[in-house]
Amino acid sequence: MERTFLMIKPDGVQRGLVGEIIKRFEAKGFTLVGLKFMAVSKELAEQHYDVHKERPFFQGLVEFITSSPVVAMVWEGEGVVASARKIIGATNPLNAEPGTLRGDYGMDVGRNLIHGSDAIETAQREIALWFTDSELVNWGPTQKPWLYE
Ligand code: DAT
Ligand code: MG
């Protein structure tokens, strides 16, 4: 089953939106398979955002992600990578549709609440970067027959 990596950023945690954000993915029907509340090291932040290392906002982004704790998660389900990106909304919250997390709760591209992997291969890389195998739980939610035909 497809998996994605989601991370509630420091602004989401500081603003008390952890429950609200998790609720969206849970209510949709995705399965939580990994979750940890953690401080992010500079090394991890730099590796996570490696693709952006030449961009002018890179240093500020690393400083932001390491400034306060985050909630790192792995979620599983049919089409979860693309679906989670839709639930999250556009990178700039001012362009994000109402009903998306960034559209409903965000104001600034540098404070956009949550990260979600942008492709299946990216998700695999990010899951391996943030979680060990033993931190991921394989389990069978009893509601599965009520979510999938
Ligand atoms: P996304 O998080 O939607 O995948 P991205 O991968 O293009 O967006 O960028 C990663 C993060 O970097 C993004 O969530 C916020 C920050 N960022 C992107 N573009 C930015 C910009 N122009 N100014 C400041 N921060 C930016
Ligand atoms: Mg991205």
pLDDT band at 13 (very low <50, low <70, confident <90, very high): very high
- The reported pTM is 0.98
pLDDT in tens, 58-80: 999 999 999 999 999 999 999 99
- Strands 31-38 and 3-8 come out as unpaired
Can you list the positions of beta strands (E) in the chain? 3-8, 31-38, 70-76, 114-116
* Per-residue tokens: 137: 């739980």
What pLDDT, on a 0 to 100 scale, did the predictor assign at position 54? 98
76: number of CA atoms within 13 Å, CB side?
13
| Dihedral sign of CA atoms 61, 62, 65, 66 in order | negative
What pLDDT, on a 0 to 100 scale, did the predictor assign at position 19? 98
pLDDT in tens, 92-149: 999 999 999 999 999 999 999 999 999 999 999 999 999 999 999 999 999 999 999 9
Catalytic residue among 115, 117, 123, 126: 115
Residues 6+ apart with CB under 8 A from 17: 8, 105, 113
Do residues 3 and 74 lie in contact, with contact meaning Cβ atoms separated by under 8 Å? Answer: yes
User: Angle at CA 10, nearest 5°, toward 53 and 105?
Assistant: 105
User: Angle at CA 64, nearest 5°, toward 93 and 103?
Assistant: 10
Q: Which residue type does 112 have?
A: N
Query: Which atom of ligand 1 approaches the CA of 88 most closely?
Result: 3
57 lines ligand 1 (CB under 6 A): yes
What pLDDT, on a 0 to 100 scale, did the predictor assign at position 64? 98
114 lines ligand 1 (CB under 6 A): no
pLDDT in tens, 17-72: 999 999 999 999 999 999 999 999 999 999 999 999 999 999 999 999 999 999 99
What pLDDT, on a 0 to 100 scale, did the predictor assign at position 38? 98
What pLDDT, on a 0 to 100 scale, did the predictor assign at position 59? 98
